[in-house]
Structure 1
Amino acid sequence: MKVMKFGGSSLASAERFASVAHLIVAERDRLQGPPYVVLSAPAGVTNELCQMVTALNEGAVDGTDSATNTNAGINTLHSFQQRTSQLLNDSKPLLSDAVWMVAENQLKSLLNDLSDKVKGCQLLGSCPAPVATALSVAGEQFSVLLMQAHLSQLGCESAKLNPADFILVGDQDLVDVSESSVRFDALSLAPMVHLMPGFYGEDQQGQLHTLGRNGSDYSAAVLAVCTHAESCEIWTDVNGIYHADPRIVEGAQLIEHLSFREAIDLSYFGAKVLHPNTVLPLAQQNICCVIKNSQNPEAKGSMISNNRTSKKTVKAISNLSDVSMINVSGAGMKGMVGMAARVFDVISQAQISVVLISQTSSEYGISLCVSGAQAEQAVDVLNRCFELEIGLQLIKPIQCQNHLSVISVVGDSMYQHKGTASRFFAALAHAGVNVIAIAQDASEHSISAVVRSERIEDAVIVCDHYLFSKQARVDAFLIGCGTVGQALIGQIKKQQAWLKKKQIDLRVVGIANSKKQLLSEQGLDLSQWQQQLDSAPASLNAQALADWAQDQHLINPVVIDCTSSESVSQDYETYLAGGLHVVTANKKANTDSMSRYVALHQLAAEKQKQFLYETNVGAGLPVINNLQNLRRAGDELLQFEGILSGALSYIFGAIHQGMSLSEATAKAKSLGYTEPNPAEDLSGLDVARKVLLMAREAGLSLELSDVVLDAVVPDDLAQISEADAFMQALPSYDDAFSEKVKQAEANNQVLRYVASITDGQCRVAIQAVDSDHPLYDIQAGENALAMLTEYYQPKPFVIRGYGAGAEVTAAGLFGDLMRIDTLSREY
């Protein structure tokens, strides 16, 4: 025996009625006995009819012109007549004339009955409860008569099953299932397909009574219990229950099986497929429930039963919107016996449903969440209940926080696994979502958090990523399209497919230069980015970019600064505060004032965002990371010496091969080794910034002005701010510099530009080193660093490799970019 229930979306057109009829006949032919079928009203009809009832009652309630309200009721009835007549007329080509005429007469009878009831309400000036119910369920009545016609056309005999004959509705729209089963057993039903209108039954006084929200599903569950059915199928317009709301989570996965407990928790906390009242009767009788798609009947659907087949820790994420939190608090509550009982008793008497409860361990306060529609009523009844205590200042006036949502993770296996709660709240923290209240059931089948409604989508998306996704996700926004930026784009384009195979989804969602900004939340086509950027309408704006990233609910948005721009580096705080990670080759921020350096890192930690800058010192060499790891292990830097500029390494190597200083600099610039303006390199300022950052990472509190700096060129050259002007003026110093080279070579030495940290002092200067010195053999373009530490002595920790060039620097940025998702998951 099977019960099949079809919702309004499955009955929205004549074609869908016909499709459902074929499904019913197919089940009849497959089963040993015909199925019982429960039908909802066609989509949208019940809402219209309920609005009609409200209009008919408003005159009696608020004293408005009853004629006006009655006219509104008549207009709604006319709309119902048009809708049902249209469905019947659309069915005419699918039905024989005889079958269609029977249905037409039945519809006329139904419409005449409704018209009489509306006219009666007009005379009374109100709409009595039994009449209101009869009007509200007219849509279900119509669905049954039209479905009978379609079944008759297929040669399938059917009969209407009146729910008022056996479904007994008690308080709060709940069905007395035991008594309903007894009443059903007393019915004498012929062996044929029985069609039952959903949504209502009969109360103890023998009057029609609706079953509230999702009442047709509830009707089907009750009927399944009464018929001792093996299963209850709920046919709708989706393939089943998804692990998260598909409207929020891209690629939400179908849950093929879940337990009754999981289904109840999911529906209770916002899942739209089923209502808890539907699940409970089925769970008590162990009747499996299957969610199917009437528009895709071949899909497997979702089965709800007591059989546990999944080992997943978290089965699904649900979200419930339009929630308000009521707070009852005050010092006088502590130790007062019965306060909680009074709170929930008065809420119960007002028939207000409580979604979630949270209480402080000190008994100082109780928080309860209710639907936003009932919040004002809840505050009112609680203020009246505790009027005396509020007057005596034992408790505070009742507080209400609106515009909230509840996000919940659900799974029967959660209690068997450690760390589920920590992962859940870590994900919320990573999303930058503030948790207002927390609730967890004692059996650990669900964990819920109350958050602001405007952040619920971010919360769901990020929790889905960290609890369900096997694929890491990074959304990159690249600033700077010079040699380094172009090299990085090329590397990303080359590696995207390979990374995808390794479960890393790296998307470049934005590219900007000094004039244009190009954005795409789905990721840019990196084979056409230059043309698209040229035609982009907007320029870079840090706050607008941060707002855009939040609006698009990006999982791991990261800004990559490929520039040496002071103005771009000034925006890092905006990006971090706005929820974006920052990866940078730009040294300006980290070598700004010590106070800003500290504040910037504190902001990153506070916002739980990554601020990565490995390329600030050694381009592609792992300098910063190694130093940080040594310090984490308890090591301390005692002394440092090294060549920190790949550009100057190349230049100083070239001059010992016979080039002049200006020729070597021009060559290095053409290879992309220098800064855009080589004056920054030859002034020594770039190296000074690097050694300052090394010192700060080692724990020294120094300013850039504390670095003793001996420039490669005189100050008048070093201070030239335009690259072309500097390159034109540089040959004037070739002869003077050549003398230094000759003097060093005469002593069997070579010149090197060396940075050092000794006794807390940073120095950058030209040194002449002989063949015994470790920096003597450094090849053109190489960096070499020697760190003498407490752990690494008397021989230092040495890092050596090429530290110049767009490809090397881009590779260093790429490496930091790949650390974003891994490090973020550690929070």
Structure 2
Amino acid sequence: MKVLKFGGSSVANSENIKKVLSIVEKASKSTKIAVVVSAFGKTTNKLLAGATEALEDITTAKETLETIKELHYRVVDDLILKNKKEVSKEVTCLFDRLLSIYEGIFLLQELSNKTLAKVSSFGERLSSYIIAYSAIEKLDATHQESRDLIFTNNIFLNAQINFEKTNKNITDFFTKNSHQITILGGFISSNANGETTTLGRGGSDFSAAIYAASLDADELQIWTDVSGMYTANPRVVKQAFPIPEISYEEAMELSHFGAKVLYPPTIQPSLRKEIPIRIKNTFDPENNGTLISKNPKNGNEVKGISHFEDISLITLEGGGMIGIPGFSKRLFETLSQAKINVVFITQASSEHSICVGVYDSDANKAKELLNETFSIEIDRKKIKPVIVENDLAIIAVVGESMKNHQGLSGQMFSSLGKNNVNIRAIAQGSTEKNISAVINKSDAKKALNTLHEQFFEEKIKQINLFVTGVGNVGERFLAQLEQQKKHLKKNLKLNVRVIGLSNSRKMVFNEKGIDLKNWKELLENGEQTSLEKFFNKTKECNLRNSVFVDNTANQAVSEVYENYLRQSIGVVTCNKIACASLLDNYKTLKAISRRYNAPFLFETNVGAGLPIIDTLKNLINSGDSVHKIQAVLSGSLNFVFNNFNENTTFHDIVAQAQKEGYTEPDPKIDLSGVDVARKILILARESGYDLELSDISKNAFLPEESLKTTNNKDFYASLAKNEAHFQQIFKEANDKNCRLKYVAEFVDGKANVGLQHIPADHPFYNLEGSDNIVLFFTDRYPENPLIIKGAGAGADVTASGIFADIIRTTK
């Protein structure tokens, strides 16, 4: 025999009930079945609302009752064909009784637990009767009142079962019952006086488990609107999936921590009899769902991740607790007497503090009562007044096999820490089936997704990008990202999504990922942006593995990096301003990056896509020391002087360099040497030297007039005006059989940048196009330097360098 229980969503309307009857018919072909049904969706809540309304206004209560009647009569009309008159008459009779109860509440101005139990019972009495008579017309079925079989004590709203009498009643009834299908209402019962009682929250599940245990059923099936118990809440974790098999104990742990497809007491009667429980989906009946049994097949050592919110931590602490017995007893006794449920407990081994979790709604009451209980100790300064922390959540990692695997708790806390999820308290039982942590409620979604990614997903790491700047470099970066999306997922196990995108005017966000095929249109229709709004929106998203990407050359953008790093949001930037700012700011950013475990990567600050900074870091980290750096670090200047000669004009070559994307938006930054000075400064700092930008001597080749311009138009006009000056510079180098190169040098702690005449035997002489070259002279490379050479400017190579840094953030 099998017992099938159908919840409120499964019997919410006629269409759903037809699906239920189809499942029942199929199941009854192989064995006798007992079918336990809940009230039609949300009916119990409406019944209780009507009772409360009746205290104030019987008219409002009657209106609520009419909406309930409308649903039930509609179902009768849809499902009952042969016995519609008889069924309608009984349904009308039940509603008349319910109306009489509402009128009694109004007249007496009293709403006792006994009355509430009677009112709430009508949901299951109606649903089981209607569904049973619909089944009787097509199947070998019957209806039975659960109130005649399940007996309890006299607690009306959360009654305790009299198992001896209940088991006998159920056994006797089903022994005599010859029908293949028996349909019963869940949740409802009665006491020795024949008065209606109810089984409290999850009562329909509990009723089904009682029937299953009494009948030694082969299986208890819980039919709901999801395909089993999931690895996490699928509404919060989109990648969550049903758990194929799970033990009773694991199911109980997950149920206690918010897995709402099953109510914990449900498991107890079945667990005692070791009756398998299967969670099935009414709307996907072919899905296997989740099997709960004594010996499930081995699976992942972590079976599920669950949580519940609206938790407060109550902390009692003080030196006066140490070595004094009875503090815990008094604490729990106080809470128990006030009927305050404790959902979490942890205590320091020093006995200096004890911490318990309660629901937010009980927090203030708990604080008041505990301060009163321990008032003498508080007055004598032996302990502190009770501390309350609100708006928290408990997250739990559950698995019976966790005890056999080392390092799981380390993985849990490490992955949360990397994503800036602050853990307020930790609890783990000696059975090691559950590791629980209290976190901020606002971090719950991020924590669940982080842990699910850690323990369940195919090690595909999700990276969430917040990108500002969509000019030449930014546009090419987005194109490369779209092009390589499948490659990253297949070969690097990375799912890189752009969540936020902005330019100087607009911004757009999509937590599911912005479609990079039409990002321009989406951005154009986005909302007005500002650096503050973009940061706040990024912080509110609170997504794991978040990275802020700066594709600008903007001073103001560089000044917000610290805000992101302090939120454990990584920063990847091609903007040189931050790393070439004041030394204290540079060191602060590096320190905050380490403190908050947030990557701060800026490979493209020097050499665009060339691995210059990464190579330098590897040298320093492996114990090498840098003594001298010689470099051509400006792709734009190298392009200019490689193409400038007596047959061209300096003005035209600079304009061409800007058009092809080699210069900054303001080309004067490149030609004045400021850009190169920043780059050699960054290399010197990464080599371990403390320098300021003002320490770097610059040998300017631009006329003073050009340097003083304030816009590009005037700057280009000054270049044209001073063409003779630039031709003279070229002639002097050409007369010596030399080439012009803008060189940066760092030697013995000092740095300089300037235009130099490079002879034919020098490594810089044949540097073509916009290429960069760097020579590192170190302890390991004293005579023959380590040379890095390649394209050092251009939107594509800079974008690829940013792309590479984003991949580095995952290491």
CA distance in 2: counterparts of 1:221 and 1:339, whole angstroms: 39
Residue by residue over 1:25-48, the C-alpha shift from the partner in whole angstroms, topping out at 9 and shown as x without a partner, is 2211222xx211112111222223
Q: Name the CA distance, whole Å, in 1 between partners of 2:378 and 2:587.
A: 47
Taking the aligned partners of 2:134 and 2:121, their CA distance within structure 1 comes to 21
Q: SS in structure 2 opposite 1:712?
A: coil
* Alignment partners' CA distance in 2, 1:810 and 1:128: 71
Residues 1:499 and 2:488 aligned together? yes
Match of 2:502 among 488, 495, 512: 512
Superposed counterparts of 1:327-476, under 5 Å: 327-470=315-458, 471-476=460-465
Distance 1:142 1:22 in 2: 20
1:598 and 1:177 map into 2 onto residues whose CA distance is 70
Change in Cα spacing, 1:575 to 1:396, as seen in structure 2 (3 Å) is closer
What is the match of residue 157 of structure 1? 141
**Structure 1 CA distance, aligned partners of 2:723 and 2:67?**
94
Distance 1:755 1:178, change over 3 A: farther
What is residue 39 of structure 1 aligned with on the other side? 37
Q: Is the 8 A contact 2:465 2:498 kept in 1?
A: yes
The 3-state SS of whatever aligns with 1:628 is helix
Q: Which residue of 1 aligns with 2:600?
A: 611
Alignment of 1:96 with 2:81, yes or no, is: yes
TM-aligned CA distance change 1:82 to 1:662, over 3 Å: closer
Q: SS where residue 9 of structure 2 aligns? A: helix
2:90 equivalent to 1:106? yes
Counterpart mapping for 1:705-716 below 5 A? 705-716=694-705
Would you say 1:236 and 2:224 are equivalent positions?
yes
1:272 paired residue number: 260
Q: Counterpart of 2:204? A: 216
Q: What's the TM-score once normalised by structure 2's chain length? A: 0.93
Deviation at 1:12, TM superposition (A): 1.4
Amino acid at match of 2:6: F
- Counterpart of 1:142, as a letter, is L
Structure 2 partner of 1:27? 27
Q: TM-score, normalised by structure 1?
A: 0.91
Instruction: Please say which of residues 577-586 and 207-216 is displaced more in the overlay.
Output: 577-586
Separation in 1, partners of 2:254, 2:343? 12
- AA aligned opposite 2:185: P
Structure 1 residues 374 and 772: CA distance shift in structure 2, 3 A: same
Distance 2:717 2:133 in 1: 93
Change (3 A) 1:112 1:782: closer
**In structure 2, what is the Cα distance between the partners aligned to 1:185 and 1:94?**
31
- Name 1:62's counterpart in structure 2: none
1:209-237 residue CA offsets vs partner (Å, 9 max, x unmatched): 32211111111111111110111111112
1:268-302: CA deviation from partner (whole Å, max 9, x where unpaired): 11111111111222223221111112222222222
**What CA distance in whole angstroms lies between the structure 2 residues aligned with 1:358 and 1:736?**
78
Cα gap change, 1:132/1:651 in structure 2, threshold over 3 Å: closer, same or farther?
Answer: closer
Matched residue, 2:609? 620
Cα deviation code 1:509-538 (max 9, x no counterpart): 3443333334433333434333444x4353
Q: 1:84 to 1:35 in 2, by over 3 A?
A: farther
The sequence identity of aligned pairs, in percent, is 34
1 CA distance for matches of 2:194 and 2:373? 36
SS in structure 2 of the partner of residue 280 of structure 1: helix
CA distance in 2, matches of 1:532, 1:112: 58
After superposition, give the CA deviation of every residue in 1:380-414 in whole Å (9 maximum; x if it has no partner). Answer: 44334333333333223333222221111222232
The CA deviation at 1:617 is: 0.7
Structure 1 residues 398 and 776 mapped into 2: Cα distance closer, same or farther (>3 Å)?
same
Aligned partner of 1:702 in structure 2 is 691
Instruction: Describe the shift of the 1:555–1:674 C-alpha distance in structure 2 as closer, same or farther (beyond 3 A).
Output: same
Q: 1:282 aligns with which of 263, 270, 284?
A: 270
Distance verdict in 2 for CA 1:663–1:104, change over 3 Å: closer
1:542 and 1:575 in contact (8 A); partners too? no
Counterparts in 2 of 1:623-662, with a 5 A limit? 623-655=612-644, 659=648, 661-662=650-651
Contact 1:640 1:756 in 2 (8 A): yes
Cα deviation code 1:651-682 (max 9, x no counterpart): 23234696554444333333222222322222
Cα distance, 1:494 vs structure 2: 2.3
Amino acid at match of 1:713: L
Residue 7 (structure 1) aligned with residue 7 (structure 2): yes
Q: State whether structure 2 residue 470 is matched by structure 1 residue 486.
A: no
SS in 1 for 2:226: coil
Q: Tell me which of 546, 563, 586 is aligned to 1:557.
A: 546
Q: In 2, are the aligned partners of 1:163 and 1:196 still within 8 Å (CA)? A: no
Is the CA contact 1:645–1:783 (under 8 Å) kept in the aligned structure 2?
Answer: yes
Q: For the residues of structure 2 that align with 1:507 and 1:395, how far apart are their CA atoms?
A: 50
RMSD of the TM alignment (CA)?
2.7
C-alpha change, 1:90 and 1:711, in structure 2 (3 Å) is same
**What is the rounded CA distance, in whole Å, between the counterparts of 1:754 and 1:544 in structure 2?**
41
C-alpha spacing 1:110/1:642, structure 2 compared with 1 (3 Å): same
Distance verdict in 2 for CA 1:696–1:731, change over 3 Å: same
Return 5+ residue gaps in structure 2 as ranges. none
* Residue type at the aligned position of 2:748: D
Gaps of 5+ in 1: 56-67
For the residue of structure 2 that corresponds to 1:11, the secondary structure is coil
Determine if contact 1:14/1:88 at 8 Å carries over to the other structure. no
Counterpart of 1:87? 72
Q: Does 1:252 align with 2:236?
A: no
Cα distance in 2 for partners of 1:742, 1:128 equals 104
CA gap 1:283/1:634 in 2 versus in 1, 3 angstroms: farther
Partner of 1:64: none
Instruction: Give the secondary structure class of the aligned counterpart of 1:137.
Output: helix
1:106 Cα offset (Å)? 2.1
CA distance in 2, matches of 1:530, 1:86: 49
Following superposition, the deviation at residue 238 of structure 1 comes to: 1.9
When residues 451 and 126 of structure 1 are mapped into structure 2, their CA distance, relative to the original with a 3 A threshold, is: same
1:594 aligned to which of 568, 580, 583: 583
Match status 1:754 vs 2:738: no
**CA displacement, residues 533-584 of structure 1 (integer Å, 9 cap, x when unaligned):** 4x43534312211222243444433332222222222232334345543221
Secondary structure (helix, strand or coil) at the match of 2:39 reads coil
Separation (CA, whole Å) in 1 of partners of 2:478 and 2:67? 60
Q: Which residue of 1 aligns with 2:183?
A: 195
2:529 to 526, 540, 543: 540
Match of 2:161 in 1: 175
Structure 2: distance between partners of 1:364 and 1:17: 57
Conserved? CA contact 2:147–2:189, under 8 Å:
yes
Q: 1:190 to 1:807 in 2, by over 3 A?
A: same
Q: Which residue of 2 aligns with 1:795?
A: 784
Moved more, 343-352 or 431-440: 343-352
Q: Distance in 2 between matches of 1:49 and 1:531?
A: 50
One-letter code aligned to 1:258? I
What is the identity, as a one-letter code, of the residue corresponding to 1:4? L
1:687 CA drift (Å): 0.5
State the alpha-carbon separation in 2 of the partners of residues 214 and 409 from structure 1: 23
Distance 1:162 1:674 in 2: 82
Q: Distance in 1 between matches of 2:480 and 2:733?
A: 41
Which amino acid letter does the alignment assign opposite residue 39 of structure 1?
V
Structure 2 counterpart of 1:46, one-letter code: T
The letter for the 1-side match of 2:7 is G
Tell me if the contact between 2:630 and 2:746 (Cα under 8 Å) persists in the aligned partners.
Answer: yes
Offset of residue 174 of structure 1: 4.4
Partner residue of 2:665 out of 662, 672, 676: 676
**Secondary structure at 1:674 match in 2:** coil
Q: CA deviation at 1:265?
A: 1.1
